[in-house]
Copies of this chain bind each other. A is one copy, B any other.
Amino acid sequence: MLTPSETKTLKFIQKYCIEKGCSPTLTEIADGIGIKSRGVVHRYIKSLESKKLLSVASNRKRGICLNLEAYENQSIAPIIPLLGRIAAGQPIEAIEDRHEINLADFIMDPDRFALQVTGESMMDAGILDGDTVIIKHQNTANNGDIVVALIDGLEATLKRFKRLPKGMILLIPENKSMEAIAYEAERIQIQGVVVGQLRSYQ
């Protein structure tokens, strides 16, 4: 487990390496993490080395070498490393854009809950049968939102929301073989909007 200072040091080194193409000096690191002592930085580096997160060529200037496999050794990595982008037929943008996904942003909010989707009504929006959608609980929606709507108080569906003139609401399935249906606003109760979606292939 890394201390906050070690984490800060490691992140600075990663960023520096990516931006400048070589590793930083101890003075640069000290400056980067907001302390004054090279000795202290050296201590952090040694600790990170002992934790296999990087290796240092002894006495070499700029001799820090990041261990890119390090994430795989981490005992707990609640945050997944986001390694880069992948495109259709495009070369991978290697390590350039390395940052992290914070799943906390995704989910850990008290007014959110999950629903498992059955049916294909939102297929064309990339929400498949069996997917899980993360819903933010709220009673209103904007045009274009994907909402959980309760029709006549008993039937809940997942549809794209559109407000029509004259107090009508259009619920649009994202599936070419299905039709959008308009309802009087009184019949529709918004239970929440989709803020995320996840799928497991296992």
- Which residues of A are at the interface with B, using a C-beta cutoff of 8 A? 1-4, 7, 15, 17-19, 21-23, 57, 60-63, 65-66, 68, 71-92, 101-108, 110-123, 126-128, 131-134, 137, 146, 148, 150, 154-158, 173, 175, 178, 193-202
- Stoichiometry (number of copies): 2
In this complex, which of A87, A194, A202 has the most chain B Cβ atoms within 10 angstroms of its Cβ? A87
Minimum C-beta distance from A78 to chain B (A): 4
- Are B71 and A113 neighbours in the complex by a CB distance under 8 Å? yes
- Are A110 and B73 neighbours in the complex by a CB distance under 8 Å? yes
- Are A115 and B86 neighbours in the complex by a CB distance under 8 Å? yes
- Are B85 and A118 neighbours in the complex by a CB distance under 8 Å? yes
How long is the Cα–Cα vector from A176 to B92 in the complex, in angstroms? 23
Q: With A146-B201, A201-B146, A201-B196 in contact, is A1–B18 under 8 Å at CB?
A: no
Question: Which residue of B23, B77, B104, B134 is within 8 Å of A1 (Cβ)?
Answer: B23
Minimum C-beta distance from A23 to chain B (A): 7
Shortest Cβ distance from A19 into B: residue: B104
- Are B21 and A79 neighbours in the complex by a CB distance under 8 Å? yes
Would you list the 8 A-B pairs with minimal beta carbon distance, nearest first?
A88-B121, A92-B156, A88-B119, A198-B198, A87-B118, A19-B104, A18-B78, A197-B199
Minimum C-beta distance from A4 to chain B (A): 7
- Are A173 and B65 neighbours in the complex by a CB distance under 8 Å? no
How long is the Cα–Cα vector from A132 to B87 in the complex, in angstroms? 12
- Are B108 and A15 neighbours in the complex by a CB distance under 8 Å? yes
- Are B1 and A78 neighbours in the complex by a CB distance under 8 Å? no
How long is the Cα–Cα vector from A160 to B8 in the complex, in angstroms? 36
In this complex, which of A91, A102, A155, A199 has the most chain B Cβ atoms within 10 angstroms of its Cβ? A199
